[in-house]
Structures are given as structure tokens and as C-alpha cells.
Amino acid sequence: MATVRLPGLIDAHVHLREPGYTHKEDFYTGTAAALAGGVTAVLDMPNTAPPTDTPERFAAKAALAAAKAVCDVGLFVGATTSELDAYLPIAHRACGLKIYVSETFGSLRIEDLGLLHRFFRTWAASGKWQAASGKWQVAGSESTLADPQSPVPDRRSPVAVHAEELMLPVCLNLSHLYGVHLHVVHVTRRSEIELIRRAKERGYPVTCEVTPHHLFLSSDDLSRLGTRGDMRPRLASPDDVTALWENLALVDIFATDHAPHTLAEKAQATPPPGVPGVETLLPLLLTAVHAGRLSLDDILLRCVENPMRIYGLPTQPDTFVDVDVDARYELSDARMRTKSGWTPFAGTPVFGRVEQVILRGRQVYDGERVLAEPGSGAVLFQSA
């Protein structure tokens, strides 16, 4: 048995479903599952019901998270066709702006080039909007500008896009044109990672993330998994998976896109796309370390350092995760803490059992039980 002490992991892409879909997950169950997986901070997506697209809805969601979360939570605002610029007054409280450009679950989708263009332009200018109010927030620390008219630093938080195929070059070019940091979530295809390579080589302000399911599963697994293997982007071909591994140096973040739906919903004629993942991130990646496909540093770079840098997250003092990296077991639905109660990796043998999690000096998970009180997790960026 070899216990290794790691920093708390960050899952920069989760759907905790609150408000609106609490039969799938809520802020308590989703963050408790995170802790059991060695994750001490998550960034929550805006495709709830209602979506997180106005100051009122953002505040309501932040209050729910503050009351229930057991790990730290950052919240995205979402681009919607109905509310347009309504989110601007709270842009600085969000970890980023999420734009769904490709097919997804929920009501958020921007398909119109004019609108897409508008969101990039407005996000680029949102720093100036904050300057006009005399406040500027970078990397979690607020500073008051002596002269609200003085130049402001570029916004740190990115526009995160779900942009597949032809929509990817559109978004890459908009980010270049407006000087907006673009973070491309769940990259899956060879053509997409190669475009990102080209954009990075040309100095475009772009970063990207890949999910464990797109690294460890492919379209070859679909017949075995059935609708449990249905998510957006869809599982790609083995050649696409090979391309992701070949281009790992370009992948800034591993994030799960934890997108829980119940098994009853997955059994419907038209099942919603998405798979849970927040608690299987670490064992899957540690298993790749055992197989010699990744190093521990590869994990820490993409699950701690880069998410902190890209989203300007505050450090969590006295926070660590003890994991027995040699413990071997099988992932199973029964062991999952997500309210959805299943994993697409059921039956997969893995290495790496989380023995305890300490968050800000307190033991919040002891290897069996989540000990943290609901509301002990912090909602990030709310002080401004």
C-alpha cells in the first residue's frame, strides 16, 4: 500500500443540476461525490432550469450552492438568446461565460453568427463595464481602481465553448478577433485537436479540455454501453482517441463534464445525453499512471495548476487528498454517490482509492463517509 498526498483536485466542468433538475443531482450530492473522488473545487455549468443568465438567477443559484455545497463551487453564466446582455452586471462573479454552440442538453444554444459575435464582443468589453463601477476583480482578489477611466487589465475569465466541427474554427477566430480567452471544452476529434494546435502555434488565446470518457472510451464501446455511452460530444472513433493521446501536450485541463441523468431517463426512447464522472476522474487517471500512459505530474498540471491559472481560482489553504495509489478495485454503480447512481465505467478495474480529504484543515471525507456540513463549501468570486 502506498499512500500519496495530492492537492485537492479541481473539476472545471460539472453539471450539478440545481435549480430545476434536482432529481438528477443537487449541490449537496454532487459536491459530496466530488469530495469522495478527491475533488475539492468544481465549476458548475449554467444549463439548469431556469438557466443561469441574469443577475437574479445567478444570485439564486449562488444562494443554493452556499447553503448546500461541501466543496468549493464556481458558477458559469450562460449565453442565452432571450436575455442577451443581462448577465453583464455579474460577469465578474462568474468563473466564465459558457456558450453552447453545438447540440446539447437543455435550452441554451446559440446558433446565430450575429449573436455569437455579439457575445464575444460584449465579453471582451465587460472589463470596461466593471471599471466604470470602480471595481475590478482578477484571480479572486478585488481591487478598487483609483481612476475608473484608467486602462483595465484584460479579463482573466474565459469564454468556454462547446463547439464541435465547423463551429470550432468560427469560435477560434472570434476569440482571436476580440482578444478573448477561449476555452474549448470536451475536445474529441483529431481534426479539432489539430485545429487547436494550429491556433496555439499562431498565438491565439486558446486553451482546451478533454474528458476521461473521451480518453478511455470510443465508439467501439457503444454497443456494450447502449445509452449509457451517449453524451455530447459523442464517443469518437479509436483514431480520434489516439489523436487526443498523441496531442496530450496541447490539452490544458482534464475535466469530467459530470452530466448526471437518472437510469430511468437513460432508458427512455429519446434519452438525454450525458454521463456522471466527478468521482471516477482520479481513479481513471491514476490507472493510466499505473499503465505508464500518464505521470502524476500530468494529472496535477491538468487537474490543479492549469484550472487555477485559466479560471483564476483562489488557493485552498491546508487542503489535500490522501490516496492509496496501489489499491485495486472495480468501479460499480453501487459505490457511486452521485444522485444518478451509475457510472459508464461500471465493471472497469481501477487503481487509486481516496483515503481521506482535508479541506481548509478539516477532514471532510474519511474514505467512507462525507463529514462536511452542507454549506461548508465556498462559492467562489462572490465578494466583489
Burial class (CB in 10 A: 0-12, 13-18, 19+), 318: exposed
Q: SS3 of 235, please?
A: coil
Q: Applying CB under 6 A, does 372 fall inside the site for ligand NCD?
A: no
Q: Applying CB under 6 A, does 337 fall inside the site for ligand NCD?
A: no
Q: Applying CB under 6 A, does 164 fall inside the site for ligand NCD?
A: no
Cα angle 227, 232, 234 (rounded to 5 degrees) comes to 65
Q: Which CB, 140 or 277, lies closer to ligand NCD?
A: 277
User: In angstroms, rounded to a whole number, what is the distance separating the alpha carbons of residues 95 and 76?
Assistant: 5
Q: How far is the CB of 44 from Zn ion (least distance, A)?
A: 10
Number of chain positions touching ligand NCD (CB under 6 A): 13
Pick one of 162, 190, 214, 228: the residue that binds ligand NCD (CB under 6 A).
162
Q: Applying CB under 6 A, does 47 fall inside the site for ligand NCD?
A: yes
Question: Pick from 190, 136, 185: which is nearest to 158 by CA?
Answer: 185
Picked from Zn ion, ligand NCD, none, the partner binding residue 98 (CB below 5 to 8 A depending on kind) is: none
Strand partners, 221: none
CA distances from 376 to 89, 140, 160, 193 (A): 27, 19, 27, 38
Picked from ligand NCD, Zn ion, none, the partner binding residue 274 (CB below 5 to 8 A depending on kind) is: ligand NCD
Q: Applying CB under 6 A, does 231 fall inside the site for ligand NCD?
A: yes
| Contact footprint for Zn ion (CB under 5 A) | 257
Q: How far is the CB of 178 from Zn ion (least distance, A)?
A: 23
Residues 59-118 that bind ligand NCD (CB under 6 A): 104-106
Picked from ligand NCD, Zn ion, none, the partner binding residue 228 (CB below 5 to 8 A depending on kind) is: none
Q: Applying CB under 6 A, does 209 fall inside the site for ligand NCD?
A: no
Check if the beta carbon of residue 258 is closer than 8 Å to that of residue 11: yes
Instruction: Region of 351 please: left (phi>0), alpha (psi -120 to 50) or beta.
Output: beta
Q: Which CB, 47 or 247, lies closer to ligand NCD?
A: 47
Backbone angles phi, psi at 177, to 5 degrees: -65, -35
Q: How far is the CB of 222 from ligand NCD (least distance, A)?
A: 14
Q: Applying CB under 6 A, does 312 fall inside the site for ligand NCD?
A: no
- Enumerate residues 6+ apart whose C-beta is below 8 A from 244: 187, 188, 193, 210, 214, 215, 251
Picked from ligand NCD, Zn ion, none, the partner binding residue 273 (CB below 5 to 8 A depending on kind) is: ligand NCD
Q: Applying CB under 6 A, does 15 fall inside the site for ligand NCD?
A: yes
Angle between helices 190-201 and 238-246 in degrees, nearest 10:
30
Contact positions vs ligand NCD (CB under 6 A): 15, 47, 104-106, 162, 231-232, 257, 259, 272-274
